[in-house]
Each structure stands twice: as C-alpha cells, then as structure tokens.
C-alpha cells in the first residue's frame, strides 16, 4: 500500500453469474454491511442475495408527490377564493373537480423531479465524479464481461488480510486493492486565475454591449439603400437640371411603333378615319376613359359643366354644331395633340382608348340631338317589349 494513499476497499473479480450470486450470499452471511456488487448487466435476484431492504427512494417520491398536490391545490384555492375572488362559469371557489387535472399534473411533476434529484444528488452523491473505482482495472473488467464484489474499508468487520482470504475462498480469480485518488488543490486567488476571470469579464461585457447596442440596430443587407440609383419623384446630382426622372430623348421611337404624324399641327392634313366599330365593349371602354379624363372639364354628359370651375378654364360643350360636325379624326386629333388650354392626353390614353372616347362622344351627341328616326326606333322597341 502506498504511504500517501488511503485504502478505499478490496475488490474481487468473478467469471460467471452463479459465482457472483454465491459470493454475494456468502458475504451477507459473513456479516459484511459495506459492500457492493458490480455486473455488466442487471442480474435477477441480486438484491435478495445482497440482503438489501426496500429502497428509500419511494418515500422521497411519495413525500414530494403529496407535497406538490397539496401546494398546487391550496394555491388554486387561494388564487380563486382569497386573493382574486374569480368566478369561472358559475363554479364555487373551491371547485374540486376542476382542480383535479392541474393537481394531478403537479403531483407527477414534483414526484418525478424529486426522484431524479434524490437518486443522482443524494444516493449517488453526484456531481461527485471522483469515485475511487473510476479508471481502475476492476471497473474496466466489470464494464465488459466480468462480475465484481467490493468490500469497503469502512465496514466494521474489515481486516484487509481476512478480507483477502475470504474473497479467495469465494473463488475470485483476481483481487485488487482500491485506493482513494489524490486530491489536487488549487489556490482560488492565484494571479493567473484572476487574470483569466478579468479577461472573461471584459470580453463578455464588451460582446454584450456591442450585440445589444450596435448589432441589433444595424439594418441587414442595407447596401442597396445606398447604391447609386435614381428614385422616382426625387432629385439627382447626376444631371445638370438635378431631376432624377428623365423624359425620353427627343425623337425616340419605340420598336414597332409609328409616331403620330400630325403632332403639333392645328388640323391634320389628311382626314383620319375611325378604325373602330362602336360595339357595347368599345362604348363601355370609352365611357370609362371619358369620365376619368374628359368629364372634369367637359362634364359627365359633355355639356361643359366643369367640376373644376374657378380652378381651371371651363371646357366647351361637346354638343355645339362645330364639334358635332367635326369628323371623328378631328376629335381624335384634339385628344392626341391638345388644343388651346387642353393639353395632349397621348401619354395617358392609348390610341385604341382615344378612338373609344370618340365613339362615346358621338353617343352623347346623338342622345342630346336625337333624330326622328331614332325616336321611332325607340318607340317600336318599347312596344315590342310590352307585347313580349
């Protein structure tokens, strides 16, 4: 035995289950109390062979389970009846059936946690990880395919020589002395340790400050916010007039598009012919565009009743003889080119929509200046509808 080590126990190894069962029974019969058996797998009947009584962990489970049940039951009663006086669904303050589910869950929770903590912290003395059996040849053997029995030096009957003879008589093929491991002591206030704590404290504080005060307020992927670009309705220093929105270059023609040949002329040199047929769909399109772009100045029915009176020059009536006698192409030209105070609506209204507006204007003019044949046609249609 080394002079600087304290003996913990004497361990013996056996080859079979029958040998370890017999050894445990004989050790119990010999009067040893401080001994333990280690096997690579659970061995049925070992607790009886070792003379072990009922485990006390059940009492821990029972106590904390009952404690959890009483605690949560009284807590719910106090919350509903004493503190807040809460009436739920007309139930009484001491609603035992309603309290049972929570009481059951809390009972299981407290019992389970207490059982685990009791086994690990109290019975197994964790977090103690320096048990003398660790890292010994004995423990390596019983972790594989051997069976072991350990008699501790704290047993009242312990005598090393007698114990060794006793284990040999049990048929052990190997006997080993187990010593307590040497305990290393470290000074708490050693300069290196204090320096390490200071570095950790400074690094943790710095990273926490930067994370909470800087990183959390940085806009992710913000490089596109500061790129060289033109924003709609915003100025720009890239151009001499400091305007970001650029009009098309004079004379620019889109691919497949023929520019309007009479732009800027008071009257077109040639008479433009209306390419549309005034179907229901065309008239509905023309009505929508007329009410959007034309009615603010000319009125909803083209009678010159401007909604912008006093803010903008009043548009003329569209029912004058002059405009009624205009060919369709002339009205289309005025919408496209503009006239007097009226600007060009070519950027806002497509060519097809302009011809649809012309067709709708003709409908408005015909409605205000109906012919006798129109009235006869309307009367004939009304009679037919009545007969049907």
Q: Is-contact 284 352, C-beta < 8 A? A: no
pLDDT score at 374? 66
How far is residue 108's CA from residue 114's CA, in Å, rounded to a whole number? 10
How far is residue 364's CA from residue 300's CA, in Å, rounded to a whole number? 10
Q: What is the pLDDT of residues 193-250, one digit of tens each?
A: 889 999 999 999 999 999 998 888 887 777 776 777 777 778 888 788 888 887 778 7
CA 32 to chain centre: 62
Strand partners, 178: 9
How far is residue 233's CA from residue 126's CA, in Å, rounded to a whole number? 71
If pLDDT is split at 50, 70 and 90, which confidence band does 4 have?
Answer: low
How far is residue 313's CA from residue 187's CA, in Å, rounded to a whole number? 97
Q: Is the pLDDT of residue 98 over 60?
A: yes
Reading phi first (left if > 0) and then psi (alpha if -120 to 50, else beta), residue 224 is in alpha
How far is residue 138's CA from residue 150's CA, in Å, rounded to a whole number? 10
The rounded mean pLDDT for the chain is 85
Strand partners, 342: 339
DSSP annotation string for 142-186: HTTT-EEEEEETTSTT--HHHHHHHHHHTT-SEEEEEEPPPPP--
Please give the torsion angle defined by the CA atoms of residues 238, 239, 241 and 245, in that order, rounded to the nearest 10 degrees: -80
Q: Is-contact 7 1, C-beta < 8 A? A: yes
| Cα dihedral 92, 94, 100, 105 sign | positive
pLDDT score at 12? 95
If pLDDT is split at 50, 70 and 90, which confidence band does 377 have?
Answer: low
Q: What is the pLDDT of residues 151-183, one digit of tens each?
A: 999 999 999 999 999 999 999 999 999 998 887
Phi, psi of 382 (to 5 degrees): -70, -40
Q: What is the pLDDT of residues 117-143, one digit of tens each?
A: 988 887 777 767 778 998 899 999 999
pLDDT score at 156? 92
Can you tell me the mean pLDDT for 276-284? 90
Would you state the structure tokens that stand for residue 198, as one six-digit string? 């200071």
| Number of residues that this document lists for the chain | 388
């Amino acid at each position: 035995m080394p002079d600087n080590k304290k003996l913990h126990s004497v361990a013996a190894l056996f080859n079979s289950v029958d040998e370890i069962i017999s050894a445990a029974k004989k050790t119990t019969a010999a009067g040893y109390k401080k001994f333990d058996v280690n096997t690579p797998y659970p061995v049925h009947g070992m607790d009886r062979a070792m003379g072990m009584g009922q485990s006390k962990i059940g009492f821990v489970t029972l106590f904390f389970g009952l404690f959890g049940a009483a605690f949560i039951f009284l807590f719910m009663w106090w919350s509903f009846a004493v503190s807040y006086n809460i009436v739920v669904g007309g139930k009484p303050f001491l609603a035992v059936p309603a309290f049972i589910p929570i009481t059951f869950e809390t009972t299981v929770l407290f019992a389970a946690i207490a059982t685990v903590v009791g086994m690990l912290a109290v019975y197994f003395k964790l977090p103690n990880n320096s048990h003398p059996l660790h890292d010994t040849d004995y423990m390596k053997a019983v972790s594989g395919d051997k069976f072991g029995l350990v008699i501790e030096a704290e047993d009242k009957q312990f005598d090393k020589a007698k114990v060794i003879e006793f284990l040999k008589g049990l048929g052990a093929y190997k006997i080993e002395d187990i010593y307590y491991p040497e305990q290393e002591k470290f000074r708490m206030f050693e300069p290196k340790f204090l320096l390490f704590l200071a570095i950790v404290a400074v690094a943790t504080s710095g990273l926490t400050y930067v994370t909470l005060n800087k990183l959390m307020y940085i806009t992710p992927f913000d490089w596109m916010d500061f790129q060289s670009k033109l924003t709609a309705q915003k100025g720009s220093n890239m151009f001499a007039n400091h305007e970001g929105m650029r009009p098309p270059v004079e004379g620019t023609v889109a691919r497949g598009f023929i520019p309007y040949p009479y732009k800027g002329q008071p009257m077109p040199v040639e008479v433009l012919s209306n390419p549309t047929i005034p179907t229901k769909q065309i008239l509905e399109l023309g009505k929508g565009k007329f009410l959007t772009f034309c009615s603010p100045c000319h009125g909803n029915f083209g009678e010159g009743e401007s909604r912008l009176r006093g803010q903008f020059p009043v548009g003329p009536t569209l029912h004058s003889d002059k405009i009624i006698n205009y060919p369709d192409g002339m009205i289309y030209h005025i919408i496209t080119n503009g006239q007097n105070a009226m600007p060009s609506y070519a950027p806002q209204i497509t060519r097809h929509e302009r011809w649809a507006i012309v067709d709708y204007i003709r409908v408005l003019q015909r409605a205000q200046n109906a012919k006798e044949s129109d009235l006869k046609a309307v009367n004939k249609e009304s009679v037919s509808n009545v007969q049907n």
